[in-house]
Amino acid sequence: MKLALRPSRVSTLAVLLALACGLSGCFHPPRNMPNESVIGYDGTGAVPPDCAALSRPPVLSDAGRQRPSMQWGCATYTNLAAQLAHPADIVAPQPLGPADGATAASAMRRYETGHVLQLDKSSTRDSN
């Protein structure tokens, strides 16, 4: 049996799912959980969070014994701090430039026809 949905049904389902998810709060982190503000900036680069400060007491017990505390988000935000190309953007993010539809269309046309431009070796490096 093949189940086919019309495009109008798919878009209606997507809107309903997004609305239900938004109303239920799934777009927001749980209370008292860290966010990207735990990454610091010292003028020269991003500073990973202090994992001890992210420690949260357990909410469950195991046969009456308390479980160890968890450092929620420590690894995630430490990795994010290490990956930032421009750490100053944490303090003062740069605005996104305007979209250039002609350039994007030209790039797609070159890709589709197999005329992709090679990287400029003076400003980029090959990962191979």
| pTM across the whole model | 0.42
- Within a domain: residue 40? yes
- Within a domain: residue 9? no
Cα 54 to Cα 35: distance, rounded to the nearest angstrom? 10
Question: Per the structure, how many domains does the chain have?
Answer: 1
- Within a domain: residue 54? yes
User: What is residue 121's DSSP assignment?
Assistant: T
Give CA separation, 116 vs 89, 104, 108, in Å.
Answer: 31, 13, 9
Domain range spanning residue 59?
30-91
How many C-alpha atoms does 77 have within 13 Å on its Cβ side? 22
pLDDT (tens place) for every residue of the chain, 128 residues total:
555 556 566 667 666 666 666 555 555 555 666 777 788 878 777 888 888 888 777 766 677 677 777 777 888 888 888 888 777 777 788 888 888 999 999 999 999 999 988 877 777 665 55
- Within a domain: residue 4? no
- Within a domain: residue 126? no
- Within a domain: residue 57? yes
Q: What is the pLDDT of residue 18?
A: 67
Q: Measured in Å, how far apart are the chain's first and last C-alpha atoms? A: 47
- Within a domain: residue 85? yes
- Within a domain: residue 100? no
Two tokens at 71?
A: 């450092």
